Structure 1
């Protein structure tokens, strides 16, 4: 089968794109990412120049045609970690979904409408504003003749990645037969453990470690963090052990220190995760390059904003089966 072309919006470092291309059935021909720093990481790992323009300024006639349009449109407006402003977000992040719709409509007017839509967002999008926000999204896609399926999926249940990360995935097809053939992946056994993606036994750079001199709540960490094979979090006034043996949801602010940052105790001391370990926990391969020109704070943000690559790949494989 000839590879299907993909147009990627809000591409970040390319997690969705990597998941699709890993099937060997898709080829990304266009990527748009407004933030220049993840675009640097993207271009380091893909043979594609990123369009770093604001999506509001992108016209469909200026970009290639593609079979599949993908987007992990900004989720801060819908996230439990944010203010849950949704479409009313004062920074306009909640309305960027409609810019993707505009691109689709413009392509449709040129008889080049993408056959398939793939979207990813935070779980809280489903219940935001008593479900009305999510319904607007589904209705908007249906108005453009897409038959749509959606499901909330967790990384450690469906992606074989030891991270507790729930996200909503939306897949739409123009072709009704493909829609009827499609189903989301079934749960799989979690065989990848924390020790497979976190270097508990390896000494890291001193900057990753907590100490009495660098951390005012270190004595409590030292007292409460007794295990060397699991992940803890500092929760403002207490230490929380993650007893499920998976990592809590990675966030974009992991590089800032303080509240909610995943912590581990190892032979060399108490430390936060490295950027590479965070990318490992999103299922990126070991040969995915983290540019040395970027600060760790930016890399933490990029990892936290990205997606679980193996789960994306499983969904993309099922899309292939549905259309073939």
Structure 2
């Protein structure tokens, strides 16, 4: 008997980090949704399935093909416990409750996978996280969550903590085929170093900090290690002594203290966009379109997820689905 493909729909897809992780673990990508036009250009350069370039509020979930897995790396927003207790309709402006709309319109996928910043857990004194868990339970799903760091779970030298939530659909009788078969991945030894990711190609001069930069004397004095990443903090240089890349941010292309700097044989320079994507675990052949500005590419890398971490969680989800359904 031919095994049925397990399909995925992706909300807030960005440039496709979650999608790529699931694809690498054997899932079939059915469709995705993203509102940012530049992210959509990068997404389409790397994937062939249907991408809905639309606001999540404007897109009609009833018109989307049903999928086995719904994923969403959604924005974190506060919502009131009082409003929640009156029912979900009081929270129509909130992204999480819009995801709940999609879950129900799509006929309740077997799995809902959510990703967010680590601080979601403590957001609004823990109320936000508790409401998300309660809402998933109320809609007939289990709820498991873990904060995982890229450097510990992805073999990628970046310090990046994110919370991942995995929810499996209950059966009509209240049992759950999948949840007991699922475990978040175990930590793995970090084998990659910063030097493994830095490009050996000739880098355009515009990425270098030369004598014409006001902070150059201080950078030259304080940047002495070639296997670490520095950041300029207005008056001084911060060295990341852990020998991993600091958390990449969406505004690292705009200047200021978020710019990751490295000391190379050819001088002091910023990480180039390609390196930022590599620090998120994207493959060498991931296409960065020439029509998208560097500022937008930096933003896309900073907004993204770390692909190998997603891939390991997705592999565990796949295993849980297969084991759960083999016992039916």
TM-score in same-fold range (> 0.5): yes
The residue aligned with 2:23 is: 21
1:245 is displaced (CA, Å) by 0.8
1:304 is displaced (CA, Å) by 0.4
Task: Give yes or no for contact 1:162–1:190 (8 Å, CA) kept in 2.
Answer: yes
Candidates 112, 124, 128, aligned match of 1:129: 124
Alignment root-mean-square deviation, CA: 1.6
- 1-side partners of 2:313 and 2:297: how far apart? 26
The structure 1 segments of at least 4 consecutive aligned residues displaced by more than 2 Å after TM superposition are none
The residue aligned with 1:117 is: 112
The residue aligned with 1:69 is: 70
1:30 is displaced (CA, Å) by 1.1
TM-score, length-scaled by structure 1: 0.91
SS of structure 2 residue aligned to 1:6: strand
SS of structure 1 residue aligned to 2:51: coil
1:52 equivalenced with 2:53 (yes/no): yes
Task: Give yes or no for contact 1:15–1:309 (8 Å, CA) kept in 2.
Answer: yes
The residue aligned with 2:260 is: 262
SS of structure 1 residue aligned to 2:282: coil
The residue aligned with 1:101 is: 100
SS of structure 2 residue aligned to 1:55: coil
Residues 52-61 or 248-257, more deviating = 52-61
1:274 equivalenced with 2:272 (yes/no): yes
The residue aligned with 1:37 is: 38
Count of residues in Structure 1 that have an aligned counterpart in Structure 2: 305
What does the per-residue CA deviation read over 1:1-57, in whole Å, with 9 as the maximum and x for residues that have no partner? 322111100000000000000012x11111000111101111110012311111111
Task: Give yes or no for contact 1:8–1:69 (8 Å, CA) kept in 2.
Answer: yes
1:127 is displaced (CA, Å) by 0.5
| Structure 1: gaps spanning 5 or more residues | 78-85
Distance of aligned partners of 1:276 and 1:233 in 2 relative to their CA distance in 1, 3 Å threshold = same
Compare CA radii of gyration and give the structure with the larger one.
2
| Structure 2: gaps spanning 5 or more residues | 81-90, 171-175, 323-328
1:229 is displaced (CA, Å) by 1.6
- 2-side partners of 1:49 and 1:299: how far apart? 22
Candidates 126, 146, 149, aligned match of 1:154: 149
The residue aligned with 1:233 is: 231
- 2-side partners of 1:227 and 1:58: how far apart? 49
Task: Give yes or no for contact 1:43–1:50 (8 Å, CA) kept in 2.
Answer: yes
The residue aligned with 1:81 is: none
SS of structure 1 residue aligned to 2:144: strand
1:218 equivalenced with 2:234 (yes/no): no
The residue aligned with 1:174 is: 169
TM-score, length-scaled by structure 2: 0.90
Task: Give yes or no for contact 1:74–1:94 (8 Å, CA) kept in 2.
Answer: no
Task: Give yes or no for contact 1:87–1:94 (8 Å, CA) kept in 2.
Answer: no
The residue aligned with 2:326 is: none
The residue aligned with 1:308 is: 306
The residue aligned with 1:10 is: 12
